Copies of this chain bind each other. A is one copy, B any other.
Amino acid sequence: MANNEKIQQLQHIDHQLAKLLEQRVQLTREFSTQEKSVDLSFLEEVSDENRTQIMEIFTLLNKPSSPKRTLLVSRDAQPESTIITSKGRSLGRTPQIIAGPCSVESEEQVMAVAEVLQEQGIKWMRGGAFKPRTSPYDFQGLGKRGLEILRLAGDQYDLRVISEVMHPADLEMAAEYLDVIQIGARNMQNFDLLKAAGKVQKPVLLKRGLSATLEEYLYAAEYILDAGNSEVILCERGIRTYEKWTRNTLDISAVPILKQETHLPVLVDITHSTGRKDLLLPMGRAALAAGADGIMLEVHPDPAKALSDSKQQINLEEFRHFMEQIRMMNHPSF
């Protein structure tokens, strides 16, 4: 048989196949999972050498159709980008900077940072009140008192304040103080917390898990949207790899992928990702160049005395320099 003939025959088969496949997909659309596991007796009519490949195709046909097409977080479900607005300021439109100390330690400390944020035209402040710590013997945060201090600073310096909540029972109380509730990397698959955050009337910043795939990350966000809260902010913060010269490996490619796959704003935490102060500027620039809706970083009036992450926070002077550099280089809007 000549090659041309073969190609024509192939095209003929493909048209018939496409028709049959469509009929089958249509027919099984409403079948439940169990019913789909139909008998495969016909495989016996197939010759031995082709059986494996044909089995693969039926496996594909019998597997439940990919749910991604209908996820609430997906761009297919909502083509336009979600813009999150808090007290007249938006996330998801022009890039924003979110800064503040790792832990809230005292009113004095938070006010010192807040003042500089205002001076630099920044509208969002982060600060940890409930701290997830690897060791039970490390500083666990000021708790509710920390939230009060953040609120105070937010009101005085026109800042929207963001802080992590770890316990579903704390969400309602925390929402009274905070403008954005953060769910941390370690809790990305704490499904009860996700569901509870879906009931809160505040935006939720959900960090990517320490070694979460992007697919798992989208599903984690889906838990919150599915529970009723559509104001979710994503945040890449580095993933765990074998590399030892950075704390985590910042996965910048996550930014354009998340922007394509979802309609949610995407931030990059440039402090926790690398854990190195000397990389803040290049990684901040890279994140923005890759299309991030904002960058988060840690600032402390006296990092050497910080009760957590003392090595990776920059001081107020370094922060002013950082802002100057980032403005000069490619983001005059900040």
Contacts and interface: CB of A to CB of B under 8 A. Distances in A.
A52 B66 contact: yes
Interface stretch (A77-85, A142-150, A186-194): A186-194
When all copies of this chain in the complex are counted, the total is 4
A45 B216 CA distance: 34
B256 A283 contact: yes
Contact of A304 (B37, B56, B251): B37
A69 B52 contact: yes
Nearest to A13: B24
A21 B13 CA distance: 8
B24 A6 contact: no
A2 interface: no
Q: Which 4 residue pairs are nearest across A and B when measured between Cβ atoms? A: A289-B289, A211-B211, A256-B282, A285-B289
Chain A interface size, as a band, is 35 or more
A274 B249 contact: no
A89 to B, nearest CB: 25
A136 B168 contact: no
Given A38-B14, A43-B18, A246 B242 contact: no
A37 B310 CA distance: 11
Nearest to A249: B251
